[in-house]
Amino acid sequence: MAGGRSRELEVLFRVAQAVHTAVRQASTSPHRADVVAMGADGSPTEEVDRVAEAQVLATLEEEHVDWDVLSEEAGLVRRGGGKLLVIDPIDGSHNAIRGLPFATVSLALGREDLAGIEAGVVRDLARGTTYWASRGEGAFRDGHRLRTKVWDARSELFFLNLGRHATSRVVGLAARARRVRSLGCASLEMLAVAEGAADAYVFENDTPSRNLRVTDIAAAYRILVEAGGNATDASGGTLDRFPLALGERTSVFAWGDPKFGERARTEGYL
């Protein structure tokens, strides 16, 4: 293994690259908001999602790997494998169709739950940057090791999910934070914590059905943990046993510095 990259990671890299190319070259512009179907989770599937998901499945065939696939668009696709590839073909698809540069393809390989994720790859579709991690092997961005940063209240920056459905807990955190950002792309926001660009990421909506799916966070979760951070739900519950299935959703509180994770509870950040 070189730079944290195994045979399985190399396949994930080629899948991510193929999706990136397919999205760029799609004859239907990704900036169109055409709804072509309903995803397996009941949300609209945009054309850009359909193109990306089809490319994932085609590349897996070309690579001769038998992994099963879990996608928010197609649901569970049985391919005879002992491992499950959890994909978000386009995380941040609403950004993509509006021309905003905050969208990724997210790929996580493992079994059963978030604790069982062995490898994750996230490709930033605007910058062409690739993040990856294998369990116990560290986290990387384009070959450079990632590490979370030490929290300093004087320069803190939080990524928060805001809007009409954000809980009072998230709105309150926005009011007390030194700086706040919101991208609308969970994987990029968690990765900002992993690479030390942010101190925390919090997503919690007022209705559980509006929270995040495992497809949104599986790859970024593995990368964050390998970079030295961690995540729970917004109430402090563990995410390790969050299942690799579309039927459940979760809030997320992700942090970089373990001391900040402790202080967030004891000093009322959340």
For residue 91, the domain's CATH number is: 3.30.540.10
Query: Is the residue at 153 inside a domain?
Result: no
User: Radius of gyration of the chain from Cα atoms?
Assistant: 17
Torsion of CA 114, 210, 139, 228, to 10 degrees: -80
pLDDT band at 46 (very low <50, low <70, confident <90, very high): low
Mean pLDDT of 114-138: 96
Report if residue 244 sits inside a domain. yes
> Could you tell me if 75 and 188 lie in one domain?
no
pLDDT of 96 reads 84
Query: Are residues 111 and 194 located together in one domain of the fold?
Result: no
Looking at the structure, tell me whether residues 184 and 77 fall in a common domain: no
Over residues 152-163, mean pLDDT: 95
Q: Kindly compute the dihedral angle of the four CA atoms of residues 245, 105, 200, 136, in this order, to the nearest 10 degrees.
A: 70
pTM here is 0.91
The pLDDT, as a whole number, for residue 238 is: 94
> Where does the pLDDT of residue 256 fall: very low under 50, low under 70, confident under 90, or very high at 90 and above?
very high
163 and 120 inside one domain: no
Confidence of residue 124 (pLDDT cuts 50, 70, 90): very high
pLDDT digits (tens, 9 = 90+) for 96-107: 888 899 999 999
Residue 38, pLDDT score: 35
Q: Is 1 a domain residue?
A: no
Within 10 A of 150 (CB to CB), how many other CB atoms are there? 11
pLDDT tens digit sequence for 72-119: 878 999 998 889 999 999 999 889 888 899 999 999 999 999 999 999
Percent of the chain exceeding pLDDT 90 equals 77
pLDDT of residue 25: 81
- The number of domains in the chain is 2
Are residues 122 and 19 part of one domain?
yes
Per-residue pLDDT of 198-249, as tens digits, reads 999 999 999 999 999 999 999 999 999 999 999 999 999 999 999 999 999 9
What pLDDT digit, counting tens, does each position of 21-45 carry? 998 887 444 444 443 333 444 443 4
What strand order describes the sheet that includes 200-203? 180-181, 158-160, 200-203, 252-255, 230-232
Same-domain status, 95 and 31: yes
110 domain residue, yes or no: yes
Q: What is the pLDDT of residue 1?
A: 39
Considering the domain architecture, whether residues 35 and 95 belong to the same structural domain is answered as: yes
**Looking at the structure, do residues 19 and 106 belong to the same domain, yes or no?**
yes
- Which of 119, 145, 171 delimits the end of a domain? 145
- Tell me how far apart the alpha carbons of residues 251 and 172 are, in angstroms, rounded to a whole number: 16
Whether residues 253 and 215 fall in one domain: yes
For 20, the domain range is: 7-145
Sheet of 139-141, strand order: 75-77, 68-71, 84-91, 104-110, 117-124, 130-134, 139-141, 144-145
Q: What is the CATH number of the domain that holds 247?
A: 3.40.190.80
Distance of alpha carbon 29 from alpha carbon 67, whole angstroms: 30
Examine residue 238 and state whether it is found in any structural domain, yes or no.
Answer: yes
Percentage of residues in the chain having pLDDT higher than 70? 90
Average pLDDT value for the chain: 89
Are 203 and 131 in the same domain? no
